């Protein structure tokens, strides 16, 4: 079938909206009519080259839509189902899945990073030449073919919201609930007030944190961060750790979340954590970058640094849970969507993201 998709042909961009060929789903695959796709920094990393990937590629890894057709052997979904798309599919049988770490599943890693389906081929092409899929989803398109485990059936909810559940919300809320397991009455600092950072703020308050400090380079995000649960806001700068300690009786925060993906910010987060505190690295750093975390400080002050990949999520469990929290009014996800765009406006959407204009922009396709 013919579809419209935003294609990246070379590092430096831009995205080009053009007509591609999409093959029907094969065994274990699902054709999804994409309804909405979030504008996430991880896709921008393809343009900058911070994330290296086969080109040309259809980006988009935060999406939701309606199942249009299924391939042989698919049993979890059927045509007409509304699904949130999971960019970290899991097999349920490997070492990590069996140890309740499905976000680390090894079965899909090779094809996912190669930009192909499990059989090593793409379903996307242009003039007979392959076009690659980013993060198994390639949802900056009117339709996409994905592995069955990428589809998580959802109850009735706006598909724009379900798209955010597919990445920003699960990454942020999961970092609080699953990775850090924030305790009531604790102090939390969040570096970065984008879609993921704001999700962390909401989850921290929901977990019972008594003090939630937001940090961002864009001063205009103050009101937004406070409205999503922050009790204080700091403009990012060299003195941020000292200012944060001043807000926490000189100690630093119990939990510090980094939602930017920048080594220098990660180093600041270690300085902002109290002795015995936990630093959770949530943002994706450029490939090949490194962070200087002094071992003497880690040892003498017993600080812990951990990563949180996709919120340490179990998508089949967590997607419905977060949608339930949204339905009950405990996660205000509608306000995360500052602006919607058409597919042809995708480059403007990323310009707005880089300017800090939105909590989250969403590409609406149907």
pLDDT digits (tens, 9 = 90+) for 192-204: 999 999 999 999 9
Burial call 40-70: b when 16+ CB within 10 Å, e when fewer: bbbbbbbbeebbebeebbbbbbbbbbbbbbb
| pLDDT number for residue 224 | 93
Catalytic machinery residues: 40, 42, 45, 61, 167
Specify the pLDDT at position 288: 84
Contact 364, 339 (CB under 8 A): no
In whole angstroms, give the CA distance from residue 244 to residue 271.
10
pLDDT for 155 equals 82
Per-residue pLDDT at 157: 84
CB-CB contact of 282 with 171 (8 Å): yes
**Which residues contact residue 360 at a Cβ distance below 8 angstroms, ignoring those fewer than 6 apart?**
38, 39, 164, 168, 194, 195, 198, 336, 337, 338
**Mind listing the domains of the chain with CATH numbers?**
2-153+333-364 (3.90.180.10), 172-309 (3.40.50.720)
Residues of the chain whose pLDDT is less than 50?
none
- Model confidence pLDDT, tens digit, residues 161-194: 999 999 999 999 999 999 999 999 999 999 999 9
Give Cβ neighbours of residue 197 (< 8 Å, ≥ 6 apart).
172, 190, 191, 214, 216, 225, 257, 259, 260
pLDDT at 78: 96
Beta bridge partners of 214: 190, 233
- Residue 158 in tokens: 């706006």
Three-class DSSP category at 300: helix
Q: What is the pLDDT of residue 287?
A: 83
- Please spell the DSSP secondary structure of 304-355, one letter per residue: EEEE-SGGG--HHHHHHHHHHHHHTTSS--GGGEEEEE-GGGHHHHHHHHHT
Instruction: Quote the CA–CA distance of 357 and 339 in Å, as a whole number.
Output: 9
pLDDT, residue 191, reads: 98
User: 288 CB contacts (<8 Å, ≥6 apart)?
Assistant: none
Ramachandran assignment for 161, one of left (phi > 0), alpha (psi -120 to 50 degrees), beta (any other): alpha
Distance CA 201, CA 174 (A): 12
Determine the Cα–Cα distance for residues 333 and 202; give it in Å rounded to an integer: 9
> What confidence score (pLDDT) does residue 164 get?
96
Rounded Cα distance between 61 and 42, Å, is 8
pLDDT at 285: 87
User: Tokens 């205009």 — which residue?
Assistant: 220
Listed residue (210, 235, 238, 214) closest to 225, CA to CA: 214
Give the C-alpha distances (Å, rounded to integers) separating 170 from 151, 237, 281.
15, 28, 15
According to the model, what pLDDT value does residue 145 have?
98
């Amino acid at each position: 079938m013919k579809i419209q998709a935003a294609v990246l042909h070379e590092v430096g961009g831009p995205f080009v909206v053009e007509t591609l060929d999409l093959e029907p789903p094969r065994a274990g695959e699902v054709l999804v009519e994409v309804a909405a796709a979030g504008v996430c920094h991880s896709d921008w990393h393809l343009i900058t080259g911070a994330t290296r990937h086969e080109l040309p590629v259809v980006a988009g890894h935060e999406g939701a839509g309606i199942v249009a057709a299924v391939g042989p052997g698919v049993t979890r979904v059927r045509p007409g189902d509304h699904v949130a798309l999971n960019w970290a599919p899991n097999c349920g049988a490997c070492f990590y899945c069996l140890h309740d770490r499905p976000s680390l599943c090894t079965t899909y890693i090779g094809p996912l990073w190669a930009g192909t389906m499990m059989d090593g081929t793409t379903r996307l092409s242009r003039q007979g030449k392959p076009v690659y899929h980013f993060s198994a989803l390639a949802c900056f398109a009117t339709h996409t073919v994905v592995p069955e485990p990428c589809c998580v059936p959802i109850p009735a909810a706006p598909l724009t919201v379900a798209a955010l559940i597919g990445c920003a919300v699960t990454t942020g809320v999961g970092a609080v609930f699953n990775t850090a397991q924030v305790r009531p009455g604790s102090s939390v600092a969040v570096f970065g007030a984008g879609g993921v950072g704001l999700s962390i703020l909401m989850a921290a308050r929901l977990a019972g944190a008594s003090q939630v400090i937001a940090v961002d380079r864009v001063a205009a995000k103050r009101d937004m961060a406070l409205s999503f649960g922050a009790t204080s806001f700091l403009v990012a700068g060299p003195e941020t750790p000292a200012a944060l300690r001043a807000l926490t009786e000189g100690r630093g925060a119990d939990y510090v979340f980094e939602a930017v993906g920048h080594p220098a910010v990660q180093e600041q987060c270690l300085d902002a954590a109290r002795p015995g505190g936990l630093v959770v690295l949530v943002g994706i750093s450029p490939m090949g970058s490194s962070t200087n975390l002094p071992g003497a400080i880690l040892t003498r002050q017993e600080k812990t640094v951990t990563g949180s990949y996709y919120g340490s999520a179990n998508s089949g469990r967590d997607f419905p849970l977060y949608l339930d929290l949204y339905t009950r009014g405990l996660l205000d996800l509608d306000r995360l969507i500052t602006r919607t765009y058409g597919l042809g406006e995708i480059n403007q959407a990323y310009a707005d993201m880089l300017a800090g204009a939105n909590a989250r922009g969403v590409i609406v396709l149907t």
